[in-house]
Each structure stands twice: as C-alpha cells, then as structure tokens.
C-alpha cells in the first residue's frame, strides 16, 4: 500500500512538472513566438553577422532577453557552438554586459536541460547507451564521487559538446543544486574569454582578441591532457 502511494505521489509530481514546463513553453511562445522562429533560423545557419544584425535591431532590454534566450536554446539544442553567440553579444553590448547575460543564459540552459533529462531519464538512458564509451565513461566518473568537480571538468573537456553534459549528468545521482554549482563554477572563464574576444574584435584590437582565444585553448588543452590525473586525484 505504501509503495503504491509513493508511486502515485511520484507520478503526480512528474505530471505537475510536465504541466509547469508546458505552461512556461506556452508563455514563451506567446511572448516570443515569432522571435523563436527567427532564432531557430539563425541558429540553423550559425552566421555571426546575422546574429549581430538581429540583436542590433532589438531594444536594449529586448536584446538582452533575446541574447539570454539564444544562450538557453544553444545548450538545449546541444550542437550549436556557444562561442559565436558570446562573441556576437560582446560586439554589441560590450564584454561585461554580454558576459553576465551569456553566463546566466548558459547556466539556465543547462539547468533546464538537466531537468528535462531527469523527467525523461529512462528514454535518454537508452539513447546514451547507444552512443558509445565516451558518454558512459562520463556517467561512471560522476557516480564515483566528487560529482561537482567531475561535472566541472567534463564541461571543459574538448570533444564533448557542452549541451550533452546536462543530459549525461541527469543519469547520475548528482542533485540539481550540485549540477548548477558545477556548471556555474566551470563555465564562467570560457564565457568571459569569448566575450573579451568579441570586445577586442569590436575595437580592432586583434592581437588581444587572438590572445584571449589562445588562453582559452591553452586552458582547454591543459584540462584535456590532465583529465585522467585530475579525476583520479579526486
């Protein structure tokens, strides 16, 4: 009897969460319906100049909202590169405004994707197990302990799309709070450097722009080279 009540409560919670997600999707559609269609078109082509022109056409507040929405969609879509969005944002709004919006958008997108991953855990698990050893390796490492640290490192390892990390993490025992902390702690440096690169590009300081990209690549390669050592040490 207790087991049945527990299962009923679980099903009710899942249904409630689905209703909340559907309601939020409806609100977003009513508010940004036409913009979402246009954004999907822009994301499909991945043209930085088109993104820049679109953002310039928005009001300041509207542009910030759209930039945040693009960052969220970028994570959920898995494959679209975040660098293009962050550089385009910095070209228009400056590095620090773009950094705040893009960082918050990136973290928000990861939390949303993580929640989706938890809601459809079994369905996604089937897909992940078909992908290969790399995805299963990440799941195993997260479950072995020090989950915040492992997720943070996974977000910085090249060859693994950032957008897939929340779906993989949802298959583990890490909590939503721990996952959010890990993403926020590990993503800021990459977002900051991309926004700084966009700022330098806008001001014609190409040497500094290249330097920003070099630092980002160096950090990424350093993490990749010492990936196993870092994870084994923790």
pLDDT tens series, the chain, 234 aa: 555 544 554 566 466 556 655 654 565 555 545 655 665 566 566 566 776 676 666 667 777 888 888 888 878 766 567 888 888 888 778 889 899 999 999 999 999 989 988 888 777 666 666 555 556 667 777 877 778 888 888 777 666 666 788 988 888 889 999 999 999 998 999 999 999 998 888 777 889 989 998 998 888 788 767 766 665 655
Going by the DSSP 8-state scheme, the letter that residue 174 receives in this structure is -
pLDDT for the residue numbered 13: 47
CB within 8 Å of 181: residues ≥ 6 apart: 148
Count each helix (H run) and each strand (E run) in the chain, helices first.
12, 0
- Answer yes or no: pTM beyond 0.85: no
Comparing CA positions, the residue from 114, 130, 101 lying closest to residue 163 is: 114
pLDDT for the residue numbered 180: 94
CB atoms within 10 A of CB 17: 14
CA dist., res. 197 & res. 89, Å (int): 11
Q: How far from 110 is each of 53, 164, 208, CA to CA, in Å?
A: 26, 9, 30
CB within 8 Å of 182: residues ≥ 6 apart: 147, 148, 149, 150, 151, 152, 155, 174
pLDDT for the residue numbered 122: 74
Q: How far from 10 is each of 99, 153, 158, 227, CA to CA, in Å?
A: 38, 32, 37, 38
Residues in the chain: 234
Give me the DSSP letters along 124-151. HHHHHHHH-HHHHHHHHHHHTS-HHHHH
């Amino acid at each position: 009897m207790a087991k049945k009540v527990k299962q009923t409560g679980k099903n009710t919670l899942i249904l409630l969460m689905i209703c909340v997600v559907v309601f939020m999707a409806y609100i977003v559609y009513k508010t940004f319906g036409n913009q979402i269609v246009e954004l999907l078109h822009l994301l499909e082509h991945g043209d930085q100049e088109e993104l820049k022109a679109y953002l310039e056409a928005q009001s300041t507040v509207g542009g910030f909202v759209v930039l945040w929405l693009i960052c969220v969609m970028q994570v959920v879509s898995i494959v679209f590169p975040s660098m293009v969005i962050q550089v385009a944002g910095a070209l228009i709004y400056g590095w620090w405004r773009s950094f705040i919006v893009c960082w918050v958008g990136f973290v928000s997108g990861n939390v949303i994707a993580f929640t989706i991953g938890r809601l459809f855990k079994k369905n996604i698990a089937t897909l992940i197990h078909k992908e290969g050893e790399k995805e299963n390796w990440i799941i195993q490492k997260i479950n072995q302990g020090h989950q915040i640290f492992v997720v943070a490192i996974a977000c910085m390892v090249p060859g693994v799309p950032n957008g897939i990390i929340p779906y993989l993490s949802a298959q583990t025992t890490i909590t939503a709070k721990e996952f959010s902390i890990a993403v926020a702690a590990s993503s800021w440096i990459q977002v900051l450097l991309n926004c700084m690169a966009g700022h330098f590009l806008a001001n014609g300081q190409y040497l500094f722009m290249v330097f920003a990209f070099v630092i980002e690549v160096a950090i990424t390669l350093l993490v990749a080279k010492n990936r196993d050592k870092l994870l084994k040490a923790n």
